[in-house]
Amino acid sequence: MKRIVNILKRFKGFFRGVSKIPAAILILLLLAAVFANYLALHNPEIGDPRERLLPTCFEKGGSLKFPLGTDTLGRDVFSRVIFGARVSLLVAFSAVFLSACFGTLMGVCAGFFGGWIDQIVMRFTDAWLSIPTIMFATLLAVVLGPSITNIIIIMGLIYWTRYARVTRGEALSLKTRDFVHLATIAGCSKFRIIRKHILPNVMNSVITLASLQIGVVVVVEASLTFLGVGVPPPKPAWGLMLSEGRGGLFTGQWWLIVFPGLAIALLVMSFNLLGDWLRRRLDPHQQSLL
């Protein structure tokens, strides 16, 4: 019991100085994603065509039954936005996790072993960085076909190079440190050194990079979905809602454009602010305006 209290106390210290508003927004969206089944008023994928294009509840002709209006197929925009949080967060967290794991593995191996492994990995990341991401993702999406699993794999494939670059540099410098030499002398295998001495020491940068990357991943997922190569219909994804609602722009259905985009912007903004806070927390030497 005492241990649990201690751990909680440590966590309280860890969250010192966190900005409250973005944290609150993120928690709210996380809760919305987890409890979407209970919060949503209607089925997000099935609508009633008789109730199509109803305006929001604070406009004339709208009702509290559909607080944010309905789309061209009569689906409730509010419910779709809530369920959209689930899709967005699922894709973002899985893709970042995937790319961080793969990139860290490649980077640590390249930095630690050096030689030709290093050369190959680094030339590969160089080439990777000069390929325009969305274009390449579009290509891959056409290859694999649109589905949530595939978009996660594609995003993971695109973003691993940044982790590889950062962890390679750190592994290079860690390799020359005394505790690694001592571990070698003590008879540790290379695998053990990587696992016990290198990986824990690169974790801070990986977590920082991941937290800064996750906002970008949300935006790129939304862009790909908007272009029709990401999450396929009729899933309630924010990018998809925007592309389906584009027609409403000229016929006066502004709510089809505003709310899904607002949800993306809020999520990305809180990710950005929290990522920046985390970076300052884990690496206090850096200063920045934002």
Minimum CB–partner distance for residue 237 and another protein (Å): 12
Tell me how far apart the alpha carbons of residues 89 and 238 are, in angstroms, rounded to a whole number. Answer: 11
Minimum CB–partner distance for residue 282 and another protein (Å): 18
> In terms of CB distance, is 175 or 275 closer to another protein?
275
Residue that is written with structure tokens 């670059």 in the block: 165
Minimum CB–partner distance for residue 259 and another protein (Å): 11
Q: What tokens does 214 get?
A: 């996750």
> In terms of CB distance, is 90 or 188 closer to another protein?
90
> In terms of CB distance, is 4 or 290 closer to another protein?
290
> In terms of CB distance, is 111 or 215 closer to another protein?
215
- Look at residue 132 and give its three-state secondary structure: coil
Query: What sign results for the dihedral spanned by CA atoms 19, 201, 220, 152?
Result: negative
CA distances from 261 to 51, 219, 254 (A): 23, 10, 11
| Site for another protein, rule CB under 8 A | 123-124, 126-127, 129-136, 138-140, 142-143, 215, 219, 222-223, 226-229, 239, 242, 246, 249-250, 254, 257-258, 261, 264-266, 268-269, 272-273, 287-290
Minimum CB–partner distance for residue 131 and another protein (Å): 6
Tell me how far apart the alpha carbons of residues 46 and 66 are, in angstroms, rounded to a whole number. Answer: 14
> In terms of CB distance, is 19 or 43 closer to another protein?
19
Minimum CB–partner distance for residue 50 and another protein (Å): 27
First to last CA, the chain: 40
> In terms of CB distance, is 32 or 229 closer to another protein?
229
Tell me how far apart the alpha carbons of residues 86 and 33 are, in angstroms, rounded to a whole number. Answer: 4
Checking 113-120 for CB contacts under 8 A at 24+ apart, the result is 114/172, 118/168
Minimum CB–partner distance for residue 265 and another protein (Å): 5
